[in-house]
Amino acid sequence: MPHRLWLALLAALAALVFVLPSGARPAQNVLTGVVGPGYNISLTDESGQRVTHLDPGTYTINVSDKAAVHNFHLTGPGGVDQATDIDFIGSATWTVTLVDGTYRFQCDAHPTLMKGSFGVGTAPPPPPPPPPPPPPAKPKKLAGSVGPGARIALRSASGARVATLRAGRYAVAVRDASKRDNFHLVGKGVNVKTGVAFTGKKTWTVRLAKGKYTYRSDATPRLKGSFAVK
């Protein structure tokens, strides 16, 4: 084989070796925007990850608008301003050229609830959104009782007499079975009681703080108990 042909073949092989790796890599330039059906809006990349930072370039954004009360509105540097209509349900495809800077997307009907942003190029990625606040904890249950006869108690849900508790909210369900005694719970920030002549059930939701709490009958001084809140 002539020398020149060998050189040409080698050059072709070298070109293949250098071209293939980048040529085989899929272009990372398709993004997916979703809004609805609930109060959610997101922009994700091809691997399904939330978009926080992108290289400058041209991107295809496939938007899926799943609610007639929300829209997807993207704005940012370079004159990018694309939106679906709020009452629109369906798909839209946008081609946008992203340059250095911060881009924002939101639902125009709920811009404080439904929003996101990402940085492009030299712009730093935005901080991750704060996690949703946890639902308020349900108050833990306590059972207070007075009577019948000369007895008074405060028990936990397991039935054990309460000696120590953690600070927090508690629902105290009291069963007052005595016409001569009452159940009176007192301590920091709490002062609740049944009537001495009263019999029946009462439930109080109280916030117990660190310190000592006592429960007693106001009619019979020796009928009393106490617990510590830590």
Contact in structure between 142 and 168 (CB atoms under 8 Å): no
Residue 183 C-beta: closest distance to Cu ion, Å:
50
Query: Counting contacts by CB under 5 A, is residue 73 touching Cu ion?
Result: no
Task: Give the pair of three-digit tokens for residue 28.
Answer: 């990372």
* The binder of Cu ion chosen from 89, 109, 173, 190 (CB under 5 A): 109
Other CB atoms within 10 Å distance of the CB of residue 74: 23
Query: Counting contacts by CB under 5 A, is residue 70 touching Cu ion?
Result: yes
Residue 85 C-beta: closest distance to Cu ion, Å:
12
Residue 106 C-beta: closest distance to Cu ion, Å:
8
Nearer to Cu ion, 67 or 196 (CB): 67
Query: Counting contacts by CB under 5 A, is residue 107 touching Cu ion?
Result: yes
Instruction: Report the sign of the C-alpha dihedral through residues 211, 215, 216, 217, in that order.
Output: positive
Query: Counting contacts by CB under 5 A, is residue 34 touching Cu ion?
Result: no
Residue 37 C-beta: closest distance to Cu ion, Å:
10
Site for Cu ion (CB under 5 A): how many residues?
A: 5
Nearer to Cu ion, 41 or 185 (CB): 41
Binding site for Cu ion (CB under 5 A): 70, 107, 109-110, 114
